[in-house]
Amino acid sequence: MMDFINPNNLLNPSSKIKTYAFVGPSGTGKSYRAQMVASERNIKYIIDDGLLIKDNEVIAGKSAKKAPTKIETVKKALFKNPKEAEELKKAFKKHKPENILILGTSDDMIKQIIANLGLPALTDTVYITDVATEEEMEEAKRTRQTEGKHVIPVPTFEIKKEFSGYILDPLQIFKYKGKDARPYMTEKSIIRPTFSYLGNFKISDTVFRQIVAYLAYKTDGIYKLNRVRVSTLGEGVHVYMEVTMLYGHSVVETLKDFKKKCKKEIEKLTAMNVEVMDVVARAIHVPEEIAKEGEE
C-alpha cells in the first residue's frame, strides 16, 4: 500500500525544513548562546524575536525588540501579523534552508511560531538549562533587569539602520568546547528596546552640520557649503544641503560622490539612519584667474 502524500507539502518548501527549538525563560541568555547551539548542530538559520538570521546576517523580518510595548513585542515575536509571517515564508522559498533554530521562552511559544510560519513539527528541542549554569542564567537576568540590555545574535552593522537612534554595542565572542571541537568567533549586538529605556539621548543638528561641513571642505569640486537643514523623517533623518560648486568639476559626479560620503559618515559616527539626503548646487565659483582669461 502506498503512503498518502499531502499535495500541499509538495508545493510548500517549508515542509522540508527541519525545525529545532532553543527554549528558556526571558533574560536567561538564549540570544547570547544561540550561535553556539546552532553551530554545534550545523544550523545556519535562526529565528529570534521576529528576525530570520543566516550566518550573522539579518535576511528577513523586523525585530520585536523595536516594538513600543511588551504586548506588541510578543505579537511580533510570534509572527501574529500575516504580512510579517509572509515575509519569512518568502525568505524560506528564496533561501531554501535545510534547518532552522527557533528561539522561544516556552514550548508553547515555539509551537505558535511554527504554526504561524507554516513550518513542520519539531525535530528536537534544546533548553537553556542544557547549555548554561544557574549562575550564568542569574547573571543574565540581573543584567536584563538592572540595565535593560538585550542581545541580538547579529553584528551591530547589520541592525544599525533598523535600530536608528537606539543604543547599540558590539560584543565579540570567541568560544570553543574542548580541543576536539571547532572554535568559532561571532559578534552579537546589545540594545535597549523602546520600552526599557533607562534614559534618552539626542544628537544635535549641529553634529550633522559639522560632519557635512568637514566633508565639503575635503571635497575638491565643492567651493563651500551654503546651507544645511536636518529634520526627522520616519525611522531616520532627512539631510538637505545647498553648496557652491567649483568651476571645472563635474557637478553630477561631484554631488553623487559627496552624497555617498556624507551618508556613510553620518551613519558611521552617529548610528542614525539617513533616510533622505538632498544636495542642491546653488552656484558655481569661478576662480579669479579663470575669470580674467575669459574677459581677455
The pLDDT tens digits for 95-127 are 999 999 999 989 999 999 999 999 999 999 999
Q: Which has the closest alpha carbon to 64: 172, 175, 161, 194?
A: 194
Q: Which has the closest alpha carbon to 215: 204, 228, 202, 203?
A: 228
* Helix/strand/coil for 112: helix
**Mean pLDDT, residues 133-143:** 76
Instruction: Enter the pTM of the model.
Output: 0.50
**Mean pLDDT, residues 224-249:** 87
Q: In this prediction, what percent of the chain has a pLDDT beyond 70? A: 69
* CB under 8 A, 24+ apart: contacts of 57-61: 57/154, 57/158, 58/154, 58/158, 58/159, 58/162, 59/91, 59/95, 60/87, 60/88, 60/90, 60/91, 61/87, 61/88, 61/91
Q: Over 50: is that where the pLDDT of 140 sits?
A: yes
Give the separation between CA 215 and CA 217, rounded to whole angstroms.
Answer: 5
Structural domains of the chain ordered from first start? 7-196 (no CATH), 205-295 (3.30.70.1350)
Residue 145, pLDDT score: 54
Neighbours of 223 (CB within 10 A): 19
83-98 pLDDT, tens digit per residue, is 999 999 999 999 999 9
Q: Over 60: is that where the pLDDT of 218 sits?
A: yes
